[in-house]
Amino acid sequence: MRRFELAISATVQIITSVMVAGILAITLGQVVLRYAFSIALPWSADAAQVLLVYTVMLVAGYGVGKGSHFSLPMLMNASPERWRQPLRLVHFILILMFAVTVLVFGVRLGIAQMGTRMPALGIPVGMVYMALPAGALVMISFCITGLLSQSASKA
């Protein structure tokens, strides 16, 4: 299970690093072309925006795996040892419920927007909205591995 979690982490890190580098390259290229050569790239803002949306959603899912999302460390540390494992279980279940909701409604929203296209890029707007289920899938995978490791630690 740990190997699967590490594989997801590494994949998300690589993808988001490439996306951030893409945002930097697109934005820097646009600035240089506009101010040095008076050439504007009509697609640069849309491309950077799409990359940013996907980066944010994937990193949000990654944050679940790293435990950097909303949690109550003070509550966990202040609670008796016997309550910590049930609190972790509730934590993962609540995040899992949220992620499944985002997945379902994100897919619906993305499908509903497939008929509309981004003017500069020509891609369906629904592809931008599909960042929601992409991030939700990363959250779900980390929640499942967290729940499975919780159940393994009970045994």
Q: Looking at residue 92, what is its pLDDT?
A: 85
Per-residue model confidence (pLDDT) at position 130: 96
Predicted pLDDT at 69? 65
What 4-12 contacts at long range (C-beta under 8 Å, 24+ apart), as own/partner pairs, is 4/141, 4/145, 5/65, 5/142, 5/145, 8/65, 8/138, 8/141, 8/142, 8/145, 9/62, 9/65, 9/66, 12/58, 12/59, 12/61, 12/62, 12/138
pLDDT at residue 21, as a whole number: 98
Is the Cβ–Cβ distance between 40 and 120 less than 8 Å?
A: no
Tokens of 135: 């991030």
Query: What's the whole-model pTM score?
Result: 0.85
pLDDT of residue 53: 96
Q: What radius of gyration do the chain's Cα atoms show?
A: 20
What is the pLDDT at residue 72? Answer: 60
Low-confidence residues of the chain: pLDDT under 50: none
Query: Can you tell me the distance from the alpha carbon of 81 to that of 142, in angstroms, rounded to the nearest whole number?
Result: 23
User: pLDDT tens, 13-33?
Assistant: 999 999 999 999 999 999 999
Structure tokens belonging to residue 7 = 């594989």
For the chain, give every domain's residue range. 2-154
- pLDDT tens figures, 82-99: 887 888 888 888 889 999
